[in-house]
Amino acid sequence: MASTCYDGIGELITNVPELGDGSPLGVRHDAAVLVADGEVVWVGDRGGAPAADERVDVEGRCVLPGFVDSHSHLVFGGDRAAEFAARMAGEAYAAGGIRTTVTATREASELELLGRARRLVAEMQRQGTATIEIKSGYGLDVATERRSLEVAAQLTDEVTYLGAHVVAPEYVDDPDGYVELVTGEMLTACAPLARWIDVFVEDGAFDADQARAILGAGAAHGLGARVHANQLRPGPGVQLACELGAASADHCTHLTDDDVTALADADTAATLVPGADFCTRSPVYPDGRRLIDAGATVALASDCNPGTSFTSSLPFVIALAVRECGLTPSEAVWAATAGGAAALRRRDVGHLGVGARAALTVVDAPSHLHLAYRPGVPLTRPLTKPPTPAKRR
Ligand SMILES: [Zn+2]
């Protein structure tokens, strides 16, 4: 069992309050971490670790748990740079823009899709992200949704079936027929590859009754629920996610007081993806301050996708959440690590307590505050090797 001691850590973010200063981040100064066999086995003072096969001195830098990006769409063909430019020239975003990518994804080979997704995963990992959720949702037919999930399952264990991204172009005049496909033949083909099922609840996508049918069918196949909710305007998505016990309601840009109360009371994380609000030039950002003050669990994710949030950078998302969503720098770091783990219902990632997966990210700075304080600066990199998917199906 090979062991490595990461020593000389100026500031260690454990996300375990009792391992550090009692705050949610569990901050510990002048620390060391011992990892063996892919797990954290000891956390303590600098220079105090038991003997290890290898010792790495991080020379006073900050170390934190690898980021947990709980919302991404990395399997797609084509590019929407021209649409982005048009939007920045004044055109509004509507949910239907997804169909542009659907055409390109259906035309792409599995090898092309895998090559692209693999490059994006590597891009995330280089920036310190250790756990990545990947959705389908640009196929919208049985063969392409299945192919998308086969690609995703080669890259992560957190695979989400999103046949209900928008109604497929062939079904624009028969949306209920499409829901039948998504909950029938397509689900049967996709469920064995996925852990989660997701639905975009929005005008132009799916309404509450359709979403309830889709998530219910997924549950019958053992898939946990996630919801794209309240992105473009207030709607039923958040309440439905809380009612059905979804792991996460994502976006949460337009919330009523009742939505905030529901999230505070439920075991459903509010996942904010301010990169999407940035890239669509949304006049409104999600009010993370209001959610945290109400007692909701807030996560931050990239929503990396070619149409509305083509960033893979959680440090950028952290900076946005601080500037635009009212989070403190410490809350934003927690939300991008422990919050993401909560949104995926994972106990082995998002913290550095004993037994956690050995996923350590180093910040080329003395403190986690620098992530928001120095936006756009590439400060983070992985200290440990990124995990490979355990469950090849
Ligand atoms: Zn999304």
- For 258-313, the pLDDT digits (tens) are 999 999 999 999 999 999 999 989 999 999 999 999 999 999 999 999 999 999 99
193: Cβ contacts below 8 Å, ≥ 6 apart: 146, 149, 150, 152, 153, 159, 161, 393
Cα(73) to ligand 1 centroid in Å equals 7
Who surrounds ion ligand 1 at CB < 5 A? 303
Cα(176) to ligand 1 centroid in Å equals 22
Q: Write the pLDDT tens digit of every residue in 205-220.
A: 999 999 999 999 999 9
Residue 386 has pLDDT above 90, yes or no: no
Cα(250) to ligand 1 centroid in Å equals 8
Q: Write the pLDDT tens digit of every residue in 125-156.
A: 999 999 999 999 999 999 999 999 999 999 99
Confidence of residue 393 (pLDDT cuts 50, 70, 90): very low
Cα(228) to ligand 1 centroid in Å equals 6
Residue 392 has pLDDT above 50, yes or no: no
Cα(86) to ligand 1 centroid in Å equals 21
Q: Write the pLDDT tens digit of every residue in 151-197.
A: 999 999 999 999 999 999 999 999 999 999 999 999 999 999 999 99
Distance CA 224, CA 334 (A): 23
Parallel, antiparallel, or unpaired for β 3-13 and 54-57? parallel
Cα(174) to ligand 1 centroid in Å equals 24
Cα(253) to ligand 1 centroid in Å equals 13
Cα(309) to ligand 1 centroid in Å equals 9
Provide the residue type at 262 as one letter.
Answer: A
Is 261 in a helix, a strand, or coil? helix
Distance CA 251, CA 253 (A): 5
Q: Write the pLDDT tens digit of every residue in 66-116.
A: 999 999 999 999 989 988 888 899 887 655 578 889 999 999 999 999 999
CATH number of 3-65+350-382: 2.30.40.10
Domain boundaries, given as residue ranges, for the chain: 3-65+350-382, 67-343
Cα(276) to ligand 1 centroid in Å equals 9
Distance CA 203, CA 135 (A): 21
Distance CA 354, CA 179 (A): 44
Contact 50, 79 (CB under 8 A): no
Cα(100) to ligand 1 centroid in Å equals 15
Cα(72) to ligand 1 centroid in Å equals 6
Was domain 67-343 assigned CATH 3.40.50.1220? no
* Residue 250: per-residue pLDDT: 98
* Residue 201: per-residue pLDDT: 97
Residue 191 has what DSSP assignment? G
